[in-house]
């Protein structure tokens, strides 16, 4: 009587291949997360700077802050929270990441 199924060697080879794939994928996930974080920070800085420029064009205010942008509906509270999480600051009417 012949039995069909995987041998111990075949199972070991499959597990070895899966382990190699996992070792290759996990470091790339970390790099992708860092890249996504930097892209989000740059995009958020651009959004804040665009709203600073729009606010300045309307009010010609030399001291723009997040509070002023929120109170005049240029940014939402959620956007300000995200900007602060990304460590974006406004100095001399210019948004930048610290």
Domain range for 85 is 31-97
Structure token digits, residue 17: 């291949």
pLDDT digits (tens, 9 = 90+) for 41-80: 999 999 999 999 999 999 988 899 999 999 999 999 999 9
Residue 5 located in a structural domain: no
Residue 7 counted as domain residue: no
- Structural domains counted in the chain: 1
Question: Which is it for strands 88-91 and 94-97: parallel, antiparallel or unpaired?
Answer: antiparallel
Structure-block tokens of residue 65:
């802050």
**6-37: per-residue pLDDT in tens?**
788 999 999 999 999 999 888 888 888 889 98
SS3 label, residue 60: coil
- Specify if 8 maps to a domain: no
Q: Answer yes or no: is 71 within a domain.
A: yes
* pTM, rounded to two decimals: 0.71
| Mean pLDDT over the full length of the chain | 92
């Amino acid at each position: 009587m012949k039995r069909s199924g995987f041998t111990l060697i075949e199972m070991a080879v499959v597990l070895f291949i899966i382990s190699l794939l996992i070792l290759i994928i996990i470091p790339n996930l970390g790099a992708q997360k860092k890249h996504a974080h930097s892209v989000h920070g740059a995009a958020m800085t651009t959004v804040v700077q665009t709203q600073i420029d729009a606010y300045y064009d309307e009010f010609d205010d030399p001291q723009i802050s997040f509070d002023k942008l929120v109170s005049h509906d240029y940014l939402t509270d959620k956007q300000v929270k995200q900007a602060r999480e990304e460590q974006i600051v406004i100095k001399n009417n210019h948004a930048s990441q610290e």
